[in-house]
DNA sequence: CATAAAAACAGAATTGACTCAATTTTAGAA
DNA sequence: TTCTAAAATTGAGTCAATTCTGTTTTTATG
C-alpha cells in the first residue's frame, strides 16, 4: 500500500518547503523564524527538525529544485549547441544565469552559498557541491561536444577547461548576488568578455 | 596628547584579537564562545561588541592580517617575475596558496568566506571583497608586467585575464578549504593544469 | 581641583535556533 | 476488532550570540 504515513510525510515535506519559500522571500532567510515557518506549515517546530537537520537544509531543498531545473534546461544546449564556440558557451551560461533568480532571491543565494562553505559536510553542503560538479561537467560536456563537431581544437583538455569556465562564472555569480544593485545583463557581459580570451584560444 | 583612552583602546583591540585567534584555532570558530574570548581578553562581553559588530568581524580582522601579508609577498613576484609565463603565474599563485594556512585553519577560512557572502555589506564583508579585488589586480598587474617584458601577447585583455585566473584559483581554493583531506600540493597541481590552457593561449 | 559631558564598560536580559523527553499516531499481528 | 511496537509529533527547555541599560572612567572646562 502507498501508506497513510508515507503520504502524510510527503505532504508535510511539501508544506514545510512551501511555507519556508514564501517566508524566505518575504522576510529574508534570517527574518523567517523557524516558529513562523512551523506555524505557516501547520506543524510543530520539532517536526521541522525531524524532516530537516537545520534551517539551512530547508533552504538547501529549495536551491536543489532550482539548480536541477537549470541542469535540465542545459541538456538541450549540449545536445544541439549553436555552431559557434562563443555563442555556444554564451547560450549555456545564459540559461544558468537567467534562470537563477526565478525561485531564489539574491539574499537566499547568499545564504545558500554561505552555508555550503560553512558546513560542507552537512546534507546540503554535500548536495551543493554535487550540484556545482554537475554544472562543471555539463560545461565540460559541451566542450567535448564542440570538439566532436570540429569546432574546438582536439588537443584541448576538456575537463580542465570546463572547470576553468565554471569556476570563473561561479565566482562572478557570487559577486553578482553579493551586490543587490548588480544587473544580470552586466554579469553576462563580463563573463562573455572573460570567456572571449578562452574562445580565441580554443576555437579551430 | 596620545591619550590614555586611545592607548587603552589599542591595547584592548589587540587583546581581543589575540584571544580570539588562539581560541578559534583551539576550539574552532563556533566552539570559541564570546564569553570565553571576553574572559581570555580580560574584558566584558559588552566591550567586545563595542569594538566589533559581531563575532564574524573579529575573525575578519584576523583574515585581513593574513591576506595583507600575502599581498605584500606577491609584490616581489610582480616586480621581478620568472622569465616564463607559466612559472610566473605558478610562483605568484604558489605564494598565495602556501601562505594561506599560516595564521588561519581551514575551518576559519570556511567561516570567513561564508560570512563574507552572507553579509557582504558588513565591515568585514566589504573588507573581504576589497581584498579579493586587490588579489585580482595583483594578478592583472603581473600579466601587464609580462606583456611589458614581451612574454605575453600585446592584444590580450590583461584585466579580464587577471579576473579569469583569480576567479578560477579562488574557487579552487574554496573547494580546497571545504575538504579537510585536500592537500596543498594537489591544489597547486590542479590550478597549474587549468592555467596551462591559458598559458598556451597568451604566451608569445 | 571640582565637575559636567562624553565615551566606554559591565553583565543581566532577550532572542531565536535547536534538543529532548513525554505523548500521540500508525502499522500490522493476533 | 484489539493490542503493541515502532515511528512521528509536540512544545517546553537549553544554549549562545547579541542587545540594552545603568554604572564607571576619562576628558575637557571653569
Q: What is the ipTM of this complex?
A: 0.89
Residue A196 sits in a domain whose CATH number is 1.10.357.10
How many Å separate Cα B42 from the centre of its chain? Answer: 29
- Count CA atoms closer than 13 A to B5's CA, side-chain side: 1
Question: Which residue is closest to A160 within chain B, CA to CA?
Answer: B194
Same domain (yes/no): A165, A72: yes
For A157, the closest of B129, B167, B197 (CB atoms) is B197
pLDDT of residue B175: 97
Asked whether residue B102 carries a pLDDT value surpassing 80, the answer given is: yes
B56 touches strand D (CB under 7 A): yes
Same domain (yes/no): A81, A100: yes
Query: B21, B36, B51: which is the final residue of a domain?
Result: B51
B6 touches strand D (CB under 7 A): yes
Asked whether residue A37 carries a pLDDT value surpassing 80, the answer given is: yes
Same domain (yes/no): A30, A59: no
Cβ separation of B161 and A198 shorter than 8 Å? no
**And the C-alpha cell for A172?**
562572478
CA distance B139 to B93: 9
Same domain (yes/no): B133, B114: yes
pLDDT tens digit string along A111-129? 999 999 999 998 899 999 9
Same domain (yes/no): B68, B41: no
* Choice between A3 and B86, residue whose per-residue pLDDT is larger: B86
Q: Which residues contact B162 (CB under 8 A, 6 or more apart)?
A: B136, B137, B139, B140, B141, B142, B143
- Name the burial class of residue A99, with classes exposed (0-12), middle (13-18) and buried (19+) by CB atoms within 10 angstroms of its CB: middle
Identify the domain containing residue A60 by its residue range. 55-202
Q: Label residue B1 by pLDDT band (50, 70, 90).
A: very low
Using the Cβ of B174 and the Cβ atoms of chain A, whether some distance falls under 8 Å is answered with yes
Same domain (yes/no): B47, B111: no
pLDDT tens digit string along B132-146? 999 999 999 999 999
Q: Is A174 helix (H, G, I), strand (E, B) or coil?
A: helix
pLDDT tens digit string along B180-198? 999 999 999 999 999 999 9
Cβ separation of A161 and B120 shorter than 8 Å? no
Q: Label residue A1 by pLDDT band (50, 70, 90).
A: very low
pLDDT tens digit string along B32-77? 999 999 999 999 999 999 999 999 999 999 999 999 999 999 999 9
CA distance B142 to B85: 10
A44 touches strand D (CB under 7 A): yes
A123 in Cβ contact with A53 (< 8 Å): yes
- A61 CA, D13 C1': separation in Å? 29
pLDDT tens digit string along B152-164? 999 999 999 999 9
Q: How many other CB atoms are found less than 10 A from the CB of residue B55? A: 20
Cβ separation of B194 and A125 shorter than 8 Å? no
Same domain (yes/no): A33, A128: no
pLDDT of residue A97: 97
- Which stretch of DSSP H or E encloses residue B123? helix B123-148
pLDDT of residue B108: 96
Asked whether residue A159 carries a pLDDT value surpassing 70, the answer given is: yes
Contact residues, chain A, for B175 at CB < 8 Å: 129
Q: How far is A173 from chain B (nearest CA, A)?
A: 11
User: If we measure between CA atoms, which residue out of B109, B162, B168 comes closest to residue B135?
Assistant: B162
pTM over 0.95: no
* Choice between A3 and A88, residue whose per-residue pLDDT is larger: A88
CA distance B139 to A190: 17
Using the Cβ of A160 and the Cβ atoms of chain B, whether some distance falls under 8 Å is answered with yes
CA distance A123 to A132: 14
Same domain (yes/no): A31, A96: no
Same domain (yes/no): B44, B65: no
Same domain (yes/no): B60, B132: yes
Task: Give the nucleotide with minimal C1' distance to the Cα of A32.
Answer: C16
What proportion of chain B, given as a percentage, has pLDDT over 90?
90
A interface test, pick of B159, B167, B181 with most A CB neighbours within 10 Å: B167
Same domain (yes/no): B62, B43: no
Distances (CA, A) of B33 to B27, B37, B53, B106: 9, 6, 15, 19
Q: Label residue B127 by pLDDT band (50, 70, 90).
A: very high
Number of domains in chain B: 2
Residue A17 sits in a domain whose CATH number is 1.10.10.60
Asked whether residue A2 carries a pLDDT value surpassing 60, the answer given is: no
Same domain (yes/no): A87, A115: yes
pLDDT of residue A176: 98
Contact residues, chain A, for B167 at CB < 8 Å: 167-168, 170-172, 194
Amino acid at each position: 500500500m502507498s501508506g497513510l504515513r508515507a503520504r502524510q510525510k510527503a505532504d508535510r515535506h511539501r508544506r514545510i518547503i512551501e511555507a519556508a519559500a514564501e517566508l524566505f522571500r518575504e522576510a529574508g532567510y534570517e527574518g523567517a523564524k523557524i516558529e513562523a515557518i512551523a506555524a505557516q506549515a501547520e506543524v510543530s517546530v520539532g517536526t521541522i527538525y525531524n524532516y530537516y537537520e537545520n534551517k539551512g537544509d530547508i533552504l538547501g531543498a529549495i536551491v536543489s529544485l532550482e539548480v536541477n531545473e537549470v541542469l535540465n534546461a542545459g541538456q538541450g544546449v549540449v545536445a544541439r549547441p549553436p555552431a559557434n564556440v562563443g555563442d555556444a558557451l554564451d547560450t549555456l551560461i545564459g540559461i544558468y544565469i537567467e534562470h537563477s533568480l526565478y525561485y531564489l532571491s539574491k539574499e537566499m543565494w547568499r545564504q545558500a552559498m554561505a552555508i555550503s562553505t560553512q558546513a560542507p559536510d552537512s546534507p546540503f553542503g554535500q548536495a551543493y557541491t554535487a550540484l556545482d560538479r554537475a554544472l562543471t561537467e555539463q560545461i565540460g560536456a559541451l566542450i567535448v561536444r564542440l570538439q566532436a563537431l570540429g569546432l574546438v581544437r582536439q588537443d584541448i583538455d576538456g575537463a580542465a577547461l570546463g572547470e576553468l569556465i565554471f569556476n570563473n562564472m561561479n565566482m562572478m555569480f557570487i559577486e553578482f548576488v553579493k551586490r543587490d544593485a548588480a544587473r544580470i545583463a552586466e554579469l553576462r557581459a563580463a563573463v562573455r568578455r572573460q570567456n572571449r580570451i578562452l574562445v580565441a584560444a580554443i576555437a579551430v
